[in-house]
Structure 1
Amino acid sequence: MVTLPCAAVLFDVDGTLVDSTPLVERAARVWAAEYGIDADEFLSDAHGRRTSDRVADFLAADRVREATARLDALEASRTDGITALPGVLALLAALDDLPWALVTSMDKEQLRVRTGVAGVPLPPVAITAEDVPRGKPDPSGYLLAAERLGVDPSACLVVEDAPAGVAAGRAAGATVVAVTTSHPAGSLTAADHIVPDLTHVLPAPGGLRLTL
């Protein structure tokens, strides 16, 4: 076991707290067919990034807004299969006085719907795609969350599941804990610590305790 002291915990959402992967992949495949894009190529580096940023990798700038809105609409049309990942609800309920926030590449409505379906509570500070000029792996979201919590980013723990998010947390100066809920450990080696899921993370006085 290892205990990590911190002033706050900053959680990614999709793939870290909430599993909506089947829904997202189904929507992406419908969308990719409409736009003549290889769905597997699109999905290969989509997880953990803002939709608009990934769409911009494939389409001209003047098509990004409309195409992003279409993909968002496809994702919003269903909620089946959305669940909280193992250990999430118990950990969040046990954090007590330790401040925590969400930093997600989803927009506000996606966050509201998916956390609501999964039963994940929304904290006072939740940074979404609309709140930052650049998405992960840029650290803007994590820096803004730390600022709104009134803590130094270097005193935060970031909990992530995707390489882009791990890079964002490291760039923000935080200690990063990665969970292998969506990516293999080999693609998350930039994290400071890697655990299978949040059943291996427990609250501790002034921080979190990991069972490795």
Structure 2
Amino acid sequence: MRVNAIQAVPATDIRALLLDLDGVVTPTAEVHRRAWAALFSNELRARGASPDYSDDDYFTYIDGKPRHDGVRDLLASRGIALHDGLPTDAPDAETVWGLGNRKNDEFARILAEEGVTPYPGSIALIDAAEAAGIAMAIVTSSRNGKRVLEAAGLADRFPVVVDGVRAAQLQLPGKPSPATYLRAAEELGVPAADCAVVEDAISGVAVGADGDFGLIIGVDRGVGEHALRRAGAHVVVSDLAELVEHVQTGALRWKQPNDRGEEATS
């Protein structure tokens, strides 16, 4: 367990959890990775671009970002520039939005055929937080946020959901800007300093530092503990079940370090 930075000492109490969805609550990050791989393996090969697409590309250029930003950044890494186009572009359009919509069609196909089951450890934490009176919100760049919550049977567990669709309606920039997380905290009525950001993506973890949130929890689903800590995670776990005892005992709190990079330890 890697939660030694959480202290049961006088400090800022965490009153709300702001959870990313894909890779944190549900294993849909794997579905996203498969959909992105299907898109870019074909697209890069068709354009004669190298190197071939890999999982490293997903973590470096795509993970946690709004879909069109991921498309643009991955293509730029291969020296390819496309017109942005419009969000309404057809999936066969050779534009940034067209490719993003093509990927989304593949994601929706996999989700419809295979469904999604939440991580048991994440459900255990959600149950414990609810019992402890800790508020919760989902914050995700995905425009499929509500669809995924419904497929996972979690649509009624979160009073606040700020997903890609809602962010666009509110004209909020995506990660690594903290705007969507700050909006979720505002809607819960909890100051950012009393909120914990729970993220598996480097760009998402960076949100916590930029938004001055009280606690930044990194969930290592493959990006690596050191990468999450470098991005600003105070705590890194491999499964959210590791935090259940801290919630149940009222010890989910963070004693701020004296200067950046020095953690409090038990």
Name 2:69's counterpart in structure 1.
Answer: 53
Give the alignment partner of residue 183 of structure 1, picking from 223, 233, 245. Answer: 223
Deviations 1:28-84 (A, max 9, x none): 122114432642264232222221111122242232222211111111111227331
Relative to structure 2, which stretch is displaced further, 7-16 or 73-82? 73-82
State the structure with more CA Rg: 2
Q: Is the 8 A contact 1:42 1:54 kept in 2?
A: no
Distance 1:111 1:89 in 2: 17
Name 2:261's counterpart in structure 1.
Answer: none
Name 2:101's counterpart in structure 1.
Answer: 69
Q: Does 1:18 align with 2:53?
A: no
Give the alignment partner of residue 173 of structure 2, picking from 130, 134, 137. Answer: 134
Distance 1:205 1:152 in 2: 22
Name 2:152's counterpart in structure 1.
Answer: 118
1:178 is paired with a residue whose SS is strand
Tell me the TM-score normalized by structure 2. 0.71
Q: Is the 8 A contact 1:10 1:158 kept in 2?
A: yes
Distance 1:118 1:166 in 2: 24
Name 2:92's counterpart in structure 1.
Answer: none
1:83 is paired with a residue whose SS is coil
Give identity over the alignment, percent. 29
Change in 2 beyond 3 A, CA 1:187/1:86? farther
Q: Which runs of 5+ in 2 are unaligned?
A: 76-80, 86-94, 255-265
1:205 Cα deviation from its structure 2 partner: 6.3
Distance 1:23 1:146 in 2: 28
Distance 1:82 1:67 in 2: 24
Instruction: Output the amino acid matched with 2:252.
Output: L
Q: Is the 8 A contact 2:37 2:53 kept in 1?
A: yes
Q: Does 1:197 align with 2:205?
A: no
Distance 2:223 2:154 in 1: 22
Name 1:102's counterpart in structure 2.
Answer: 138
Q: Is the 8 A contact 2:17 2:135 kept in 1?
A: yes
Q: Does 1:44 align with 2:59?
A: yes
Name 1:31's counterpart in structure 2.
Answer: 39
1:94 Cα deviation from its structure 2 partner: 2.3
Q: Is the 8 A contact 1:101 1:123 kept in 2?
A: yes
Distance 1:129 1:92 in 2: 22
Distance 1:19 1:103 in 2: 15
1:126 is paired with a residue whose SS is strand
Distance 1:161 1:173 in 2: 18
1:170 is paired with a residue whose SS is helix
Q: Which runs of 5+ in 1 are unaligned?
A: none
2:17 is paired with a residue whose SS is strand
Deviations 1:110-152 (A, max 9, x none): 2223233333344110111133332111111111111111121
1:26 Cα deviation from its structure 2 partner: 2.2
Q: Is the 8 A contact 2:115 2:152 kept in 1?
A: no
Instruction: Output the amino acid matched with 2:65.
Output: R
Deviations 1:157-212 (A, max 9, x none): 111111111001221111201121232101111211112211111224666379x9
Distance 1:33 1:181 in 2: 22
2:252 is paired with a residue whose SS is strand
2:198 is paired with a residue whose SS is strand
Choose between structure 1 and 2: higher strand proportion: 1
1:16 is paired with a residue whose SS is coil
Q: Is the 8 A contact 2:14 2:253 kept in 1?
A: no
